[in-house]
Structure 1
């Protein structure tokens, strides 16, 4: 699966997003000359997934934006680029270089999915077989729009194949609620037609679509539907070949993730392989420790580091803390030193524990951990339990079933060590108390997995998270502005129909 994702030639289609609309599409092939078999359709769908495994999307720009926007991660190396500091410190404008990279890449992914969806009718094959493949494209489109709508709110929504840039040159924004309707429709199609299991978790299954439906419904506060979709996955875990992994560390070991049962969807990198931006992965180095010689692929860059309170507030008896954070490093001479001395061994490091989930076991990787062989898990079974728990608590405050779901994760976190920590959640909590417990459990279980900002946004926790007593105080946070990012300024210049920009930009 990995290799053809990376090497798929994206220019095989008339592939146009919402960026550079005045330029002419390149590499245009007439659809009827390409879409002849189901295998051709699969190749087109693979192009969408290939577009995710790029530096401008999951390899750095989108993921680093999500890390820095939340309250679990902060800037470490103060010499890093200004665009990253702007995202982290809530000072960004509509010319921010992070957004201007992942915005057009998002629409490129969507554009490829639209080509597959629009041309599936050209395939003369069994309907169920064709739909099982095109359902992957529906999922890819929904996945990408789900990130966009949460980050930007009202956005251009394109659900057709673009063959002429003029067709979208004057497109307007679609209201947020209508974008969600499109996402739900796509995921429902995917859930209907995708198989129960796939040969690779880099391809979505029926359970993947249901899990994302549960997440979407949770985001829009439709709690009964969120609970129903999550429990559909949970109640059919054998059918979908799902399980919580016994060792939490395995989820972040590039040499092991491909064979695991907990992932529901992964974005795969080959390892030491890239074609232009495709396969270019910098998540490991941007989170690794500057000056550390522990790993043969070299030191990290100390760009995104945990907020110090994250480490201080996390009980060391929780195995997830040891997996999630690196607290020591090694010099080239073999001296092991603690995080309180990181600055002594590198001018650009910072005296804080560092994120360990991606740098520690990057697998086959190049210099500094670039071009890792990580299979990045975008949704895993543990999150489905948390979605079910949160939704059930909103439907029935203090739900015993919700408590049981949280305790499944806490049991795993004890790793059979005999420790009583993290202690089981007890029945009898109020709705508010159980809600707080579940949200805190999400922060711990999913720490640094690019989820926290979305939780802060949907629950409107910004004033608390970034206030004086929060995990990462940020005096510039403004709740009237900062729950949305700015649409890229150049897009608004090219197409005034996208005006006005989001409030405050």
Structure 2
């Protein structure tokens, strides 16, 4: 085998490194396979497994911070890039997400800021191709291991499908590469492949994966994908294909929507999701039960939804595709606590916080419907008496009683005035302390949560923030969920609603998701027609999947940016806070071109300069 040369093409910079992970034990404690010929490696089934685990380790680095993508939407704020620019280097994945031109997480102006993501996604493609080609070459030599080796090829083809799916959701047409890249000459002239052809190749990979993958895995193989994962991703690809063909993608000027293709895609997605739901014994975490909830201002007992997003839930089979992180000392830990937690949880930074509008999305556990919008203070924020009155005024954002009797996922997800969170310091738990918007540190002898100005809405996240000691802010062993069963329930409901209208089967699945928030089932008027049922599905996607990186991709495929922020050349919309102050204006007097650049991303100029056969997306011409 030809030795891999140092790559010149920036697609693949840094992609061929093997990192180590405690979760794969000693499988990666070996020389990099990219520097070994076939006389030394790719000789045994164990070699093939080691190569596959290295592939997972590489690809997880472009998915493990998907929560930043929620900053493109309307319910999550991500702080300025400069505040997250120190999260790491290519060896641990941080640089895939940061840098002044390599990641922008505001609702506008982000389309030209993902050069690194483009590059490192192609690194993931190359890693998958490397496993596919080398394990395929092993098949004639190891006939007794054919089934297992073909299963490993299936894993690699699924990972390649996952990476290419992310590429087309962001850039549309992209070059399709299905071989190992060993030199600049291999890719210097490859043009962009039409999105439908890339989509078909993704589906072909997933067809193979479904055929060859096992139906189940042992608990110590929880990161490795199964047949259900292939079906779930295939269903999601078809759902998006249906959305693009129904709603159009005018910014991708090579794409022509087709209503018939949309209908077929929705039908195909429905069938795949149905099989995931019915054929593999998958269940919602703790049976989908809401669990117990503590009183306002207490947090000794939190609902099941909170515990779903703790590393202690990693054995749950609700996660269908997920990337396992190694925890302390592994070098591949998650950074959820650093980005999401406040200062009082191991000196974290609140790089990610809820926008004000999220709180009003949590419905009544009595009626199952929205409550009246909460009332904010006026701009008289310096009026202490007025603020004190607001703390007891009915329906005020500063009155803790306003939050009583809402969806259990609210207490599991966000903190509001009077709520408490476990203080962690020096890997020790130091008791529950309260949050209050505008009050930090010790005040009148009481220690409050220090959030270091990381929130400007009046809310903090509780979701993903560990409430037990023993791990530092960058030492989490969370399995990051890429697709989980509740998401499949909601995608099934959406796809079947598009193909067949509201059905009892789809309504029942949405109700199962609602039940984990202790909400009653949907009232008939909420699914009287397809449009109303879509609204109910969208509502559940907002509260169920917040902070998991789905909202930005949803609103782009649904063509909803203008619905959220107003039309081009209009006043835009201010984010606000619990005091009633305007905070940040988005899309204020923005041109139609600015909107177009939020629906599709810019091909990196460096790639355009290097490859004359690449063509830029229309909004950037």
Under a length normalisation based on structure 1, what TM-score does the superposition of the two structures give?
0.84
Match of residue 236 from structure 1: 279
Output the aligned Cα RMSD.
2.9
C-alpha displacement at 1:281, in angstroms? 3.0
Match of residue 379 from structure 1: 483
Report the Cα distance in structure 1 between the residues aligned to 2:238 and 2:323, rounded to whole angstroms: 23
Report the Cα distance in structure 2 between the residues aligned to 1:464 and 1:287, rounded to whole angstroms: 28
Report the Cα distance in structure 2 between the residues aligned to 1:373 and 1:227, rounded to whole angstroms: 33
Q: Is the 8 A contact 2:285 2:316 kept in 1?
A: no
C-alpha displacement at 1:59, in angstroms? 3.9
Alignment deviations for residues 416-450 of structure 1 (CA, whole Å, 9 cap, x no partner): xxxxx344343751111111111221111111111
Match of residue 254 from structure 1: 311
Match of residue 14 from structure 2: none
Is the alpha carbon distance of 1:84 and 1:455 closer, same or farther for their aligned partners in structure 2, counting shifts above 3 Å? same
Match of residue 465 from structure 2: 359
Instruction: Name whichever of 160-169 and 339-348 sits farther off.
Output: 339-348
Q: 1:308 aligns with which of 356, 366, 391?
A: 356
Match of residue 389 from structure 1: 493
Q: Is the 8 A contact 1:245 1:261 kept in 2?
A: no
C-alpha displacement at 1:363, in angstroms? 7.2
Q: Is the 8 A contact 1:218 1:391 kept in 2?
A: yes
For 2:438, what is the secondary structure of its paired residue?
Answer: helix
Report the Cα distance in structure 2 between the residues aligned to 1:6 and 1:438, rounded to whole angstroms: 44
C-alpha displacement at 1:487, in angstroms? 2.2
For 2:164, what is the secondary structure of its paired residue?
Answer: helix
Q: 1:404 aligns with which of 505, 508, 519?
A: 508
Is the alpha carbon distance of 1:361 and 1:52 closer, same or farther for their aligned partners in structure 2, counting shifts above 3 Å? farther
Q: 1:87 aligns with which of 105, 115, 137?
A: 105
Alignment deviations for residues 376-421 of structure 1 (CA, whole Å, 9 cap, x no partner): 111111111111111111122122221111111112221xxxxxx3
For 2:477, what is the secondary structure of its paired residue?
Answer: coil
Match of residue 176 from structure 1: 195
Report the Cα distance in structure 2 between the residues aligned to 1:342 and 1:156, rounded to whole angstroms: 52
Match of residue 18 from structure 1: none
Q: 1:318 aligns with which of 379, 389, 407?
A: 407
Report the Cα distance in structure 1 between the residues aligned to 2:48 and 2:497, rounded to whole angstroms: 42
Match of residue 24 from structure 1: none
Is the alpha carbon distance of 1:361 and 1:188 closer, same or farther for their aligned partners in structure 2, counting shifts above 3 Å? farther
C-alpha displacement at 1:170, in angstroms? 2.4
Report the Cα distance in structure 1 between the residues aligned to 2:103 and 2:136, rounded to whole angstroms: 47
Match of residue 144 from structure 1: 163
Match of residue 216 from structure 1: 237
Equivalent positions of 1:433-452 (< 5 A) are 433-452=532-551
User: Does residue 256 of structure 2 align to residue 203 of structure 1?
Assistant: no
C-alpha displacement at 1:465, in angstroms? 2.3
User: Does residue 63 of structure 2 align to residue 58 of structure 1?
Assistant: yes
Match of residue 417 from structure 1: none
Q: Is the 8 A contact 2:349 2:452 kept in 1?
A: no
Unpaired segments ≥5 residues, structure 2: 1-20, 86-99, 243-264, 288-303, 364-402, 442-449, 567-571, 577-584
Instruction: Name whichever of 121-130 and 42-51 sits farther off.
Output: 121-130
Is the alpha carbon distance of 1:224 and 1:501 closer, same or farther for their aligned partners in structure 2, counting shifts above 3 Å? closer
Alignment deviations for residues 290-339 of structure 1 (CA, whole Å, 9 cap, x no partner): x3x2x3xx132122211111113323521111212233467889783434
The number of residues matched between the two structures is 466
Report the Cα distance in structure 2 between the residues aligned to 1:150 and 1:487, rounded to whole angstroms: 13
Report the Cα distance in structure 1 between the residues aligned to 2:160 and 2:432, rounded to whole angstroms: 49
Is the alpha carbon distance of 1:398 and 1:409 closer, same or farther for their aligned partners in structure 2, counting shifts above 3 Å? same
C-alpha displacement at 1:460, in angstroms? 0.8
User: Does residue 321 of structure 2 align to residue 265 of structure 1?
Assistant: yes
Q: 1:194 aligns with which of 165, 189, 213?
A: 213
Report the Cα distance in structure 2 between the residues aligned to 1:6 and 1:303, rounded to whole angstroms: 34
Match of residue 47 from structure 1: 54
Match of residue 118 from structure 1: 133
For 2:208, what is the secondary structure of its paired residue?
Answer: helix
Is the alpha carbon distance of 1:53 and 1:431 closer, same or farther for their aligned partners in structure 2, counting shifts above 3 Å? closer
Under a length normalisation based on structure 2, what TM-score does the superposition of the two structures give?
0.69
Is the alpha carbon distance of 1:336 and 1:77 closer, same or farther for their aligned partners in structure 2, counting shifts above 3 Å? farther
Q: Is the 8 A contact 1:171 1:497 kept in 2?
A: yes
Q: Is the 8 A contact 2:324 2:479 kept in 1?
A: yes
User: Does residue 206 of structure 2 align to residue 108 of structure 1?
Assistant: no
Is the alpha carbon distance of 1:481 and 1:79 closer, same or farther for their aligned partners in structure 2, counting shifts above 3 Å? closer
User: Does residue 505 of structure 2 align to residue 487 of structure 1?
Assistant: no
Is the alpha carbon distance of 1:154 and 1:387 closer, same or farther for their aligned partners in structure 2, counting shifts above 3 Å? same
Match of residue 341 from structure 2: 288
Q: Is the 8 A contact 2:111 2:598 kept in 1?
A: no
C-alpha displacement at 1:132, in angstroms? 1.3
C-alpha displacement at 1:66, in angstroms? 1.4
Match of residue 299 from structure 1: 347
Report the Cα distance in structure 2 between the residues aligned to 1:301 and 1:10, rounded to whole angstroms: 36
Report the Cα distance in structure 1 between the residues aligned to 2:420 and 2:101, rounded to whole angstroms: 28
Q: Is the 8 A contact 2:22 2:327 kept in 1?
A: no
Report the Cα distance in structure 2 between the residues aligned to 1:181 and 1:399, rounded to whole angstroms: 29
Is the alpha carbon distance of 1:73 and 1:138 closer, same or farther for their aligned partners in structure 2, counting shifts above 3 Å? same
Match of residue 260 from structure 2: none
Alignment deviations for residues 76-104 of structure 1 (CA, whole Å, 9 cap, x no partner): 4697365588431422464x3xx233332
Q: Is the 8 A contact 2:78 2:105 kept in 1?
A: no
Is the alpha carbon distance of 1:125 and 1:413 closer, same or farther for their aligned partners in structure 2, counting shifts above 3 Å? farther
Q: Which protein is bigger by CA-based radius of gyration?
A: 2
For 2:311, what is the secondary structure of its paired residue?
Answer: coil
Q: Is the 8 A contact 1:38 1:133 kept in 2?
A: no
Q: Is the 8 A contact 1:79 1:348 kept in 2?
A: no
Q: 1:424 aligns with which of 474, 497, 522?
A: 522
Q: Is the 8 A contact 1:253 1:363 kept in 2?
A: no
Q: Is the 8 A contact 2:228 2:320 kept in 1?
A: yes
Alignment deviations for residues 461-491 of structure 1 (CA, whole Å, 9 cap, x no partner): 1111233569896215843221112222222
For 2:481, what is the secondary structure of its paired residue?
Answer: strand
Q: Is the 8 A contact 1:244 1:381 kept in 2?
A: no
Is the alpha carbon distance of 1:105 and 1:422 closer, same or farther for their aligned partners in structure 2, counting shifts above 3 Å? farther
